[in-house]
Amino acid sequence: MRKIVLATKNTGKIAEFERLLSQFTPDIKVLGLSDFPDMPEVVEIGKTLNENARLKAKAICEFTKLPALADDSGLFIDALGGQPGVYSARWAGYEGVDSKMRDLANINKALEELKDVPKGSRGAQFRSVVAFCRQNLDSSFLEKEELGVLSGQILTQPIGSAGFGYDPIFSPDQFDQSLAQLPPRVKDEVSHRGIALRAIAPFLRDHL
C-alpha cells in the first residue's frame, strides 16, 4: 500500500483526510507525525498559508523520506480586517499542548472581538492551502498546492461538538448549522479543506 505522511498529530484532522482521500485513492495509508516521534517541530515562519503549507510538506518529506501532505488553514473575519488569518491556530496565545484548550481560547477571543458586531456583519471565510511534496530519484522535489475557500458567518456562541478549531462558531453559507453540527460526510463536501483536497487528489493518485 502506498503511504503518505500528513503534517499533523491532530487525530481529527487525520481522520478527516483519510475520509476524503479514500474517495479518490483508497490504496493510500495516511500516517501522522505521531508515527515519527523523532521528527523535529517545523516552525511556521511563513507570512502566508501557501508558504507555511509548502514549508511543512517539504520538511516532513525530507525527514521521513516519504511523500508528505501539509495544509495550512486560517479563518479570515471580514469585520476584523481578515484576522486572525495565518495566525488562526495561535491567535489567543495559548502555549500548552492541549488542542481542545487552544481551540476554546481562540473561540473565546473571536467572540470577544465580535461582541459588538451585529449578525449581518459577521461574514468570514475559511481558507485552506494543501501542499504536496515528494522527493524524486534525482533528489529534486515534486511540489503541488491547491486552495480551498468556504464562506460563512461567525455565530454569537459555540454550537455543536464535532469538528475542531473554530468549527463550533462558523456557519457556512446555505446552512443554518455550525460546522461542528454537520455530519462528517457533509462537512467533507463543503469544507475548505475538502475543496482543496478534492482538487489535489487526482494529482496524488498519479504521483505517489
If we measure between CA atoms, which residue out of 129, 161, 149, 8 comes closest to residue 76?
149
Q: 33-59 pLDDT, tens per residue? A: 989 999 888 888 889 999 999 999 999
Least confident of 8-17, 151-160, 168-177: 8-17
Which residues are catalytic, by number? 72
Residue 85, strand partner residues: 75
Phi, psi of 5 (to 5 degrees): -100, 125
pTM of the entire predicted model: 0.87
Q: Is 191 exposed, middle or buried (0-12, 13-18, 19+ CB in 10 A)?
A: buried
Per-residue model confidence (pLDDT) at position 48: 96
Rg (C-alpha) for the chain, rounded Å, is 17
pLDDT at 5 over 90: yes
Computed over every residue of the chain, the mean pLDDT equals 92
Task: Report whether pLDDT(22) > 90.
Answer: no
